[in-house]
Amino acid sequence: MPPVPPMAASASDPIRVMLVDDSAVVRGLVTRILEAETDIEIVASVGNGQMALSTLERVAVDVVLLDIEMPVMDGLTALPKLLQADPGLKIIMQSTLTMKGASVSLRALEMGAADYIPKPTATRELAGGADFRTELLSKIRALGQARQRSANRPPRPAATGAAAVPRPASTGAPPRVQIHPSSTVTLRTAAIESFDVIAIGSSTGGPQALFTLLGTMRAGTVTQPILITQHMPATFTMILAEHISRVSGWEAREGQDGEVVRSGRVYIAPGDFHMVVEVRGTEKIVRLNKNPPENFCRPSVDPMLRSIAAAYGRRVMTCILTGMGSDGLKGGQAVVASGGTVIAQDEPSSVVWGMPGAVATAGVCSAVLPLPEIAPWIMKQAARR
């Protein structure tokens, strides 16, 4: 997980957050974390989905932290209703790190949730553990900044009623920081040759983007193997593979150490492992390792791309999808240096234009495209094989 981003809004225009959880203990923990940040304001704290819907009618919200299991109206029932009431709302689901929690979280992402965060359970986390705090603030700030830049952000009405949470006095007005202050995109010519492998990197908003991309670029439309690093914990990546298989028809699964990379398959980096490719004779082999995190992530996109560039040379197609941070930039530079091609998702269609923005503004991309146009672009290039 990337480090906590710098404060991104002035005290007069903070990121507006609503907490929705039936656990007063969890709401209290999150409240203590967020109240210490001058660029974030808790505008409401409620105990179920129905109360969240009622609150949204009178309180302007940027980011919702939404629990899944609640009385009266649970999170999955409330999710589409909240998005119908405010389509630009950024919703982070709270989930347990279990098979059931992973499956429900992926379903929520398919339904329009922007991201998820493991729900604090251990005593250390409930006491405000650093890892939970870092992930919480990173995701709220990244999604909140994206919401603030959107054209459909609602104006701030006066908050009234028991759900409104008073804001402590501000201690200052931190400067506004853009994810990519320089938004100039310079394109380079795509490689003349076709490619033998497709590599994809993604993070926040990535599962939804992958479902769209691979749902369009269905099994059989291209034959090259696809290797994916999506920032996700263990368990979640296995469920992600199952969802990709269901929506795309691809044979998708977590990469297994030592297996041969074969055409027509999708390999996903397992949570907590870097996935790389090595050459063994005439074969390309998947290798998993627990080397230190890169870009604060394991799995990380950069080591995968570096290894693929070394193994395949110029016959590499790389796509960087939505996500916070800059993971994939150094790996993308290695791909280009080897003669391969890098493309990225554009800002309007990204949940967070961090990772794709990093490669787009670094001059390594041959195309920066809306999400629906990425699959047709890749299929056209693949037809030249």
- Dump pLDDT digits (tens) for 229-260: 999 998 899 999 999 999 999 999 999 999 99
Q: Give the up-direction half-sphere exposure of residue 271: CA atoms within 13 A in the CB hemisphere.
A: 15
How does residue 123 score in pLDDT terms, banded at 50, 70 and 90?
A: low
Lowest mean pLDDT among 59-63, 167-171, 233-237: 167-171
Judged against a pLDDT cut of 50, whether residue 172 lies above it is answered with no
Lowest-pLDDT choice from 32-46, 154-168, 297-311, 341-355: 154-168
| pLDDT confidence of residue 221 | 86
Q: Is 70 exceeded by the pLDDT of residue 178?
A: no
Catalytic residues: 203, 231, 327
Inform me whether the pLDDT recorded for 266 exceeds 80: yes
The model's pTM is 0.86
CA distance linking residue 273 with residue 379, whole number of Å: 29
Phi-psi region of 143 (alpha: psi -120 to 50; beta: other; left: phi over 0): alpha
What percent of the chain lies above the pLDDT cut of 70? Answer: 86
Instruction: Report pLDDT for 120.
Output: 75
Predicted pLDDT of residue 356: 97
Average pLDDT over residues 315-319: 97
**Residue 195: pLDDT band with limits 50, 70, 90:** very high
The per-residue pLDDT for range 148-161, each reduced to its tens digit, is 887 566 665 544 44
- All structural domains of the chain, each given as residue ranges with its CATH number in brackets, are 15-151 (3.40.50.2300), 197-383 (3.40.50.180)
pLDDT for residue 180? 54
Mean pLDDT of the chain: 87
pLDDT at 155: 63
